[in-house]
Structure 1
Amino acid sequence: MNIAAILTSAGINVAICVVLFSLYSVLRKQPGNVNVYFGRRLASQHSKHLDLCLERFVPSPSWIWKAWETSEDEILASGGLDAAVFVRILVFSIRIFSIAAVICTVLVLPVNYHGQERMHTDLPLESLDVFTIGNVKEGSKWLWAHCLALYIITSAACTLLYFEYKSITNLRLVHIIGSPPNPSHFAILVRSIPWYSEKSYCDTVKSFFSYYHSSTYLSHQMIYKSGTVQKLKDDAEHVCKVIRGASREKTCKPSFTECWCFQGTNSFEMISNEIDIGSVHERAGYTDKHLDARKKMQECPAAFVFFKSRYAALMTAQTLQTSNPMLWVTDLAPEPQDVYWSNICIPYRQLWIRKIATLVASIVFMIVFLIPVTFVQSLTQLDNLHKLLPFMTGMLKKKFVIQVVSGYLPSVILVLFLCAVPPVMMIFSAVEGSISRSGRKMSACCKVLYFTIWNVFFVNVFAGSVISQLSVFSSVRDLPAQLAKAVPSQATFFTTYVLSSGWASLAIEVMQICPLLYNLFQRVILRVKDDSEGGSLSFPYHTEIPRILLFGFLGFTCSILAPLMLPFLLFYFFLAYLVYRNQIINVYITKYDSGGQYWPIAHNTTVFSLIVAQVIALGVFGLKHSSVASGFTIPLLICTLLFHQYCRQRFLPIFRSNSAQILIDMDLRDEHSGSMGEIYEHLSSAYSQSSLVPDASNQTKCFSTHEDKRSDQSSEDIEKGKEIIQKNDTPWDDNHTLSSKEVPGAK
């Protein structure tokens, strides 16, 4: 590929960006699109002003200035800590690749261009290979420039990473301390609750925590089976019992044809409301005992348990409750709006099977994905196209067609295939069993990141047949040499990929094409004119963070090998900085916040990128017979690993758990201010399931409160716990079984 081909690809993407950005600047001013482009803030003053102004039909860059002027505090207020961390990732990328672009353009690029004595043609017709390290002759003393540039880039990256990690850690601490009382700080999630035939899960939880955590236990909230199928099943059973009890003369058999008598609805609530439930219960003997038994069958072996202090909840969540780690499993509870209810009731013993299954499925999907990508990529080669499509021989001889096919088509095809990856990985992450929506999205983010790095970098580096791509890793010792040979030759493809997947994706992101078409369908076809409600889109971290980190990975690995890519990459990060800030403050709704948990992913990926870049440089210096440069690269590799280990010890624990010091200070502050009572009252309604069982109104009966004074209500709970535990003089043993009478099947 020559300079003309890469400029053709850049020109196509610039044209696409200019058209879409101009169209966006007009569409965002239309009152009918306020739900699409201003989901976060719908202001009637803004809409009225647009109705009277003719400027809304003229493209303008006003949104760029507003995005640029937005402060970090406004980002925190609009998108939460996760959004602020996302912007900091972009800021870090801009800083480090600005340094890399200056160093490599001034120091490395001239060395690569004049690496061998040859006659250079006109610049547009120059092959991009002359700008790579492959053009430097073996044994050249100028390889010191590449080694020096690698040292500067690595040192700058580690320094910036350290200060960013420290700054984001402080933001996380401020986020925890300065936020209003969070119910998740007082709550833990208990799963794998043992089953007893004489007791419900609710009574078991109450007895256990009243006895073993009597001084700190406050209350608990049971989790019920939910979902559309479960609700239909429970409604059908309930209505059958009601109709059978209400009919004196004719017995209603609980068959499908007689009991499933609904019309146009998925609930039997309309039928049950027309019948006198009280009289039915009197006639059929449908007493509270039956309701309690029915509710008992709908309980899940999981519950939210609340404590009187944040510190008590933290200690309980991190403590092994019994000698059997598969029973009474405790974790810190997610925020109420972050709970992924459909996964709460998954049996804890299934989780390890689910994780293994999703890991195997992800690997299989990653391997199978090689087949269409490799096949389509092979078709983009001109020689293969001449053989497979002989009738296009004349067209493929045209200069512009050659430039489009070689400089634009391969990256576009790969981008189209990769569009199917995030939804699939999100399904895998849901099946995996995450208890929080942020955890599911974070897991999908990691899967998409691994997938894209493998397919975009390694698969395309070792382009060819699938067999050759897999056999190249037969020897680990040959890996640096193989990468050193392959990466410089594929650097031009990575440059076009940055243009196609980077620049164009930002234009599509700001346009919001799917929500725009849906809004148009609502207004034109369905005639819906309501603008009172904004959009409901949450920020797609699982797609955008992997894309940014992938580009960072390509930038680090190709910085000294093919520095011509850095200006295109730097422009992408500048543009992404403006686009995503605009989307955060205007479009996306913050439904939940992981507390900045995405930064460790970004840090680990950046360090991995530096290590891969150093390994490739080590292989290149070996191939170029520069033993001195190779020798100086090894200490750099060791220092990078030591730096990463230091950050893991210094900062990572703060992201894994809250510190006891901070939680105790917050507890003392709330006690002195007298706000603990209000916090306790709020806990009773914080975790409410959106889809409960039909008799969910009785759920409050199972929300037991453990008063501060043990001599009052808690004494009865303690005595019950002692009575259960002291039977047969047997404590809660390894299997948490008491006796053969209490636990069915126990020996």
Structure 2
Amino acid sequence: MIDDYLQIEKNLRDAPKPTRLVTTQLLISAVAGFFIFSAFCVLRCRFPNIYMARMNYLGVSNRKFMPPVLSTKSLFGWLATVWRITEADILEYAGLDAFVFLGFFKMSIKLLSVCWLFSVLIISPIRYYFTGDYDQSDGDDSSDPKDPSEATDYHTYLWLYVIFTYVFTFITEYFLMQQTRKVIQYRQNILGNQNSITDRTIRLSGIPPELRNERALRESIESLGIGKVAKIVICREWKKLDLLFKQRNHIIRKLEIFWARYIGTTKNPTFNIRPFVESSYPLTPECPRYRDEEEGSDSTHAGTTSDADTSDYEYGSNSVVEYQASPTETNPFGTSFGSAVYKKRPQIKLGFLGICGKSVDAIDYYTQQLNVIDEEIMVARQRHYPATPTAFITMDSVATAQMVAQAVLDPRVSFLITRTAPAPKDIIWENVTLPRKDRVLKIYYITILTGIMGVAFIFPVGYLATLLNLKTISKFWPDLGELLEKHEWAQKFVTELLPVYLFTLLNFVIPYLYVWLSSRQGFVSHGEEELSVVSKNFFYVFVNLFLVFTMAGTASNYWGYLSDSKKLALQLATSLRGLSSFYVDTILLQGLALMPLKLLITGHVLRFMFIRANCKTPRDFKELYRPPVFNFGLHLPHPILILIITLLYSVMSTKILSSGLAYFVIGYFVYKYLLIYACIHPQHSTGQVMPIIFRRIVLGLLLFQLTVAGSLALNNAYLLAMFLIPLPFLTILYLWNFERNYLPLSFFIALRAINKDTQVDTDPQSSAGVRATHPLTNGVSYSSLRSSTIDERREYNQTYEYPYLVQSLEGPWLAVDGEHVVMATKDGTVRKRFTFEEF
């Protein structure tokens, strides 16, 4: 062991000395965070339709399902309202997935608060008494003897490390299991009381050719005696329809642009898509509103005016009618406007790139193309398409669907594999309709590409870590090293602050690449895609931005230690000791500055800055005001890594415990606001991200125990290190217990949890029928059990039919009139109730 230690010392670069810039970083982060937070408070009042976009998304008809309205008159009055939002409110307004995500932050706050109290009141005072350092890494390294034989005097205080490694491990496991049980309990209660089509549907894959028709498949399933089949939708290779609708959407966009140009956006306010009122809240009646669910109302003709009144707006009409309205006269769409004026119909040239050739009426030209493509679609819908081995089967009850989803239907391998179905709007039909071999090929080659990229990122991350050390900088960039030696503050910035900012930049940029890769992997639903992004991004931040970065930060030959498990604990402990100040700076920057920055939803605001000027049609504005989508794959992995890093240092550094606690306190409040008021998460909420959180935290516990053992070995406290040997085995047993007993409840609904007396309400907006409280609720006050849940409201009137087979062939949008979309059709103009469709 001593030889290993000496070898590590030989290969160590000069470890970065504990920084004196922690105060500077704290000041920079706090000042930046304060200004960002102040800017958000001002902008929220000025632009409520951007920063409270989800309120508009829910719409007027969903007022009773909305969170408390935030005042736009007070800069800071909204803080108390958000603070008072309870867990039951989160479930009611944002769904189960948001509850799990925010529950992870709340659990981390409880866990780190207890650890912080032990550290402040017991560990640090005793360590200060024996070593003169409040944290193990404080001051110079005089408290850590370079000669292991000199470490004997430190055994007294090192007993604390053994004791509190056990204590912190058991505390973490207690809070983690408590949160897991809570999530499972709420999950079973909520999903067991739901009766949406998603809860009654399974996805069946591996269907043999002889069963790829509805009659044979129905008879095969019902013959098993499990239950009755309500409906079967066999997925087919509808790629031809996909291509036709892509062409149709392109034509619709072109047609809407020329209609907007013809009708105008200033002279005639009827056809001007009016943004949400940005100076007051609640919304005024004329503002467009996004709805959480299909309303089921049919399109109706807008008025009873004569042909002369409406001919100017007919589909493809080439007539221009002079129309002069009085100030009080109403148009065919129910809104008043001033005076219409003569306007020349737009023309296009049919030659090369539209710059030469014959000039034709643009509206007539694209209307004719639209009519042709619609006829092709009608013909294509009648064709026969080869069946794929995938089908969506809706059973007669939730209980039947759950039994089928958990059953093994066929004795052959890879035949008749059952899974719970994603929500209809969550399905990526483009992937569902792919032949099986094409989808499997996409999954494999994206997985291989992801692994190659993970290895490739090791090199830039390793070189980034060289900035932590002046000696390495001088080796690679002699001139820069010489300059930094002459200027102490420049040296401190480059070796201590600059790596923090570059590290944070990598954390921000690379995850989006994994989001794009997952979108090309052939997943059947957006929910599966999102869970895959969580796993990919955590793998990246953990391996590349933590493990490799930590090793490369102090060791010149870290490849050898990554491949030698015998030396891994020693190297990890040594590296973490040298990088403690770096992680303090990083967590402070992430928590105090970048967390408030998330409130500004910068990406969404940039859309208004750079895209709004290019919005030409009502549909463009509708998409512009669409609330940003909250992707757990982008937001969850890094907080898990922060918790792991904080746990690794929990017995060694009170500063990191304090920084981590502040990070999660601020993060909980920020994400609560985003999920309740600003962002949407359109996927069907199932809480399946909880197993991912559980497994990653257990991995962090194992590393924590390994790190403490390595730290004890570096101090020649081999006997104390041996006392930690049982702890990893207990942790693995803890994980095994979760996998065996808790994991099934994270994916399926227990049959006893299904409320047979749940009222099947045909209108989820109605609250007249109060749901019965299920015995398993155990007195939990959950408001969604008294009415429809967010998923039931969102999935009302949805089916598993392939959208392009049943979707109405609507005309171009001319305007958004109140809560209705004004569209042009072959029969004139119609008004249809406005709905929000994310996918």
Task: Using the TM superposition, name which of 267-276 and 406-415 deviates more.
Answer: 267-276
Give the distance between the partners of 1:304 and 1:524, measured in 2 at CA: 43
2:600 is matched with which residue: 511, 518, 526?
511
How far the C-alpha of 1:111 sits from its partner, in A, is: 4.6
Contact 2:518 2:532 in 1 (8 A): yes
Asked if 1:498 corresponds to 2:513, the answer is no
Distance 1:557 1:263, change over 3 A: farther
Residues 74-113 of structure 1: matches in 2 within 5 Å? 74-113=89-128
Distance 1:154 1:461, change over 3 A: same
1:185 is matched with which residue: 199, 219, 231?
199
2:702 is matched with which residue: 604, 611, 633?
611
1:421 is matched with which residue: 505, 510, 514?
510
Secondary structure in structure 2 of the residue aligned to 1:559:
coil
Secondary structure in structure 2 of the residue aligned to 1:457:
helix
Give the distance between the partners of 2:32 and 2:118, measured in 1 at CA: 31
Structure-1 residue corresponding to 2:244: 231
Asked if 1:39 corresponds to 2:53, the answer is yes
How far the C-alpha of 1:394 sits from its partner, in A, is: 5.0
Asked if 1:439 corresponds to 2:528, the answer is yes
Structure-2 residue corresponding to 1:337: 425
Contact 2:531 2:633 in 1 (8 A): yes
Letter in 1 for 2:216: S
Contact 1:132 1:561 in 2 (8 A): no
Asked if 1:656 corresponds to 2:656, the answer is no
Give the distance between the partners of 1:512 and 1:363, measured in 2 at CA: 31
Contact 1:611 1:640 in 2 (8 A): yes
Asked if 1:14 corresponds to 2:30, the answer is yes
Cα deviation per residue 1:508-530 (whole Å; 9 max; x = unaligned)? Answer: 20111121222244566759997
Structure-2 residue corresponding to 1:311: 399
Cα deviation per residue 1:520-566 (whole Å; 9 max; x = unaligned)? Answer: 44566759997999533222211221111000110111112333211
Distance 1:694 1:386, change over 3 A: same
1:347 is matched with which residue: 435, 459, 464?
435
How far the C-alpha of 1:89 sits from its partner, in A, is: 0.6
1:154 is matched with which residue: 169, 187, 211?
169
Asked if 1:599 corresponds to 2:690, the answer is yes
Aligned length: 638
Cα deviation per residue 1:151-192 (whole Å; 9 max; x = unaligned)? Answer: 22112112212221111111111111233x111222222334
Q: Give the root-mean-square deviation of aligned CA atoms.
A: 4.3
How far the C-alpha of 1:311 sits from its partner, in A, is: 3.0
Asked if 1:382 corresponds to 2:470, the answer is yes
TM-score where L is the length of structure 1: 0.75
Give the distance between the partners of 1:228 and 1:465, measured in 2 at CA: 58
How far the C-alpha of 1:421 sits from its partner, in A, is: 2.2
How far the C-alpha of 1:291 sits from its partner, in A, is: 6.6
Structure-2 residue corresponding to 1:144: 159
Secondary structure in structure 2 of the residue aligned to 1:306:
strand
Cα deviation per residue 1:249-306 (whole Å; 9 max; x = unaligned)? Answer: xxxxxxxxxxxxx9989x99844747997xxx9xxxx9x9x878x6213754433222
Give the distance between the partners of 2:737 and 2:539, measured in 1 at CA: 24
Cα deviation per residue 1:389-431 (whole Å; 9 max; x = unaligned)? Answer: 6278456644433332233110111121232322222233333
Give the distance between the partners of 1:415 and 1:350, measured in 2 at CA: 37
Contact 1:448 1:543 in 2 (8 A): yes
Asked if 1:638 corresponds to 2:729, the answer is yes
1:62 is matched with which residue: 62, 77, 96?
77
Letter in 2 for 1:414: F
Give the distance between the partners of 1:539 and 1:276, measured in 2 at CA: 35
Contact 2:198 2:423 in 1 (8 A): yes
Contact 2:424 2:798 in 1 (8 A): no
How far the C-alpha of 1:380 sits from its partner, in A, is: 5.0
How far the C-alpha of 1:606 sits from its partner, in A, is: 1.4
Give the distance between the partners of 1:167 and 1:49, measured in 2 at CA: 33
Q: Greater share of helix residues, 1 or 2?
A: 1
Give the distance between the partners of 1:153 and 1:464, measured in 2 at CA: 27
Distance 1:133 1:582, change over 3 A: farther
Letter in 2 for 1:367: V
Give the distance between the partners of 2:372 and 2:521, measured in 1 at CA: 43
Letter in 2 for 1:518: R
Letter in 1 for 2:219: S
Asked if 1:169 corresponds to 2:282, the answer is no
Cα deviation per residue 1:111-166 (whole Å; 9 max; x = unaligned)? Answer: 5445558xx9x99x963656889999622221111112212211211221222111
Letter in 2 for 1:16: A
Secondary structure in structure 1 of the residue aligned to 2:756:
helix
Task: Using the TM superposition, name which of 34-43 and 613-622 deviates more.
Answer: 34-43
Secondary structure in structure 2 of the residue aligned to 1:100:
helix
Give the distance between the partners of 1:233 and 1:72, measured in 2 at CA: 42
Contact 1:301 1:345 in 2 (8 A): no
How far the C-alpha of 1:683 sits from its partner, in A, is: 9.5
Secondary structure in structure 1 of the residue aligned to 2:542:
helix
How far the C-alpha of 1:385 sits from its partner, in A, is: 4.2
How far the C-alpha of 1:369 sits from its partner, in A, is: 0.8
Distance 1:624 1:381, change over 3 A: closer
Residues 357-368 of structure 1: matches in 2 within 5 Å? 357-368=445-456
How far the C-alpha of 1:226 sits from its partner, in A, is: 4.9
Residues 241-640 of structure 1: matches in 2 within 5 Å? 270-271=368-369, 273=371, 295-297=383-385, 300-349=388-437, 353-379=441-467, 381-386=469-474, 388=477, 390=479, 393-394=482-483, 397-463=486-552, 468-521=557-610, 535-640=626-731
Distance 1:314 1:559, change over 3 A: same
Letter in 2 for 1:217: V
Task: Using the TM superposition, name which of 136-145 and 412-421 deviates more.
Answer: 136-145
TM-score where L is the length of structure 2: 0.67
Give the distance between the partners of 1:497 and 1:130, measured in 2 at CA: 25
Letter in 1 for 2:394: F
How far the C-alpha of 1:211 sits from its partner, in A, is: 4.6
Contact 1:129 1:135 in 2 (8 A): no
Letter in 2 for 1:582: Y
Task: Using the TM superposition, name which of 648-657 and 456-465 deviates more.
Answer: 456-465
Identity of counterpart residues, as a percentage? Answer: 20
Contact 1:395 1:401 in 2 (8 A): yes
How far the C-alpha of 1:316 sits from its partner, in A, is: 3.0
Asked if 1:205 corresponds to 2:214, the answer is yes
Give the distance between the partners of 1:227 and 1:666, measured in 2 at CA: 43
Distance 1:69 1:670, change over 3 A: closer
Question: Gaps (5+ residues) in structure 2?
Answer: 1-16, 250-359, 762-768, 772-791, 811-839
Contact 2:628 2:678 in 1 (8 A): yes
Give the distance between the partners of 1:20 and 1:463, measured in 2 at CA: 33
Letter in 1 for 2:756: M
1:666 is matched with which residue: 750, 756, 771?
756
Contact 2:431 2:524 in 1 (8 A): yes
Give the distance between the partners of 2:513 and 2:373, measured in 1 at CA: 46
Secondary structure in structure 2 of the residue aligned to 1:185:
coil
Question: Gaps (5+ residues) in structure 1?
Answer: 237-261, 698-747
Task: Using the TM superposition, name which of 134-143 and 35-44 deviates more.
Answer: 134-143
Structure-2 residue corresponding to 1:701: none
Distance 1:692 1:409, change over 3 A: farther
Letter in 2 for 1:430: S
Letter in 2 for 1:339: I
Contact 1:510 1:583 in 2 (8 A): yes
Give the distance between the partners of 1:642 and 1:359, measured in 2 at CA: 30
